[in-house]
Amino acid sequence: MTLCSSALVAVLLLGNAANAQDWGDWYDSYKMDYTYDTTAGNGPANWGGVDGIGEWVDFDVTGRIAALGNQCDVGTRPSPILLDPGTGLNQQFYCQDLHEPLPRQINPDVDCSRWEVTFAITPYALKTYFPLSDGYCLRPSLILSGRMDPYVLLWMEIHTRSEHAIAGKRYDAEIQMIHAGTGREAGQLMTISLMVDASAVDDDLELEWMLQQWRETAQTEREYCNGGGDRKRRLRSPQQPDLSQYMRNGNFSSYKETTSRNQARNLQFTTSSCRTDRFGRGCEPLGPRRRMFPYNLWQSIWYYGYSGSLSAPPCSEIVQWRVLDEPLHISRRQYKELTFLLSQSLDDNCQRNTATDNNGENRRPIQESVNSAFQGVYYHCTLSNFGHFVYSPEDQ
- The pLDDT tens digits for 251-287 are 333 333 344 344 434 445 444 566 666 666 667 777 7
Q: Taking the complete model, does pTM exceed 0.85, yes or no? A: no
Weakly modelled stretches of the chain, pLDDT under 70: 1-32, 52, 57-62, 85-92, 133-135, 228-282, 369-376
Burial group, residue 285, by CB count within 10 angstroms (0-12, 13-18, 19+): exposed
- The pLDDT tens digits for 169-209 are 999 999 999 999 988 898 899 999 999 999 999 999 999 99
**In this predicted structure, what is the pLDDT of residue 236?**
40
Q: How many Å apart are CA 163 and CA 171, to the nearest integer?
A: 8
Burial group, residue 384, by CB count within 10 angstroms (0-12, 13-18, 19+): exposed
Architecture of the structural domain at 6-395: Roll (3.10)
Q: What are the residues whose beta carbons fall under 8 Å from the beta carbon of 160, sequence distance 6 or more?
A: 172, 173, 174, 335, 338, 339, 342, 360, 361, 362, 363
Domains of the chain, residue spans? 6-395
Pairing of strands 102-103, 169-170: unpaired
**In this predicted structure, what is the pLDDT of residue 110?**
87
**In this predicted structure, what is the pLDDT of residue 270?**
46
**In this predicted structure, what is the pLDDT of residue 387?**
82
Name the DSSP class of 203.
Answer: P
Q: In the beta sheet, which residues pair with residue 29? A: none
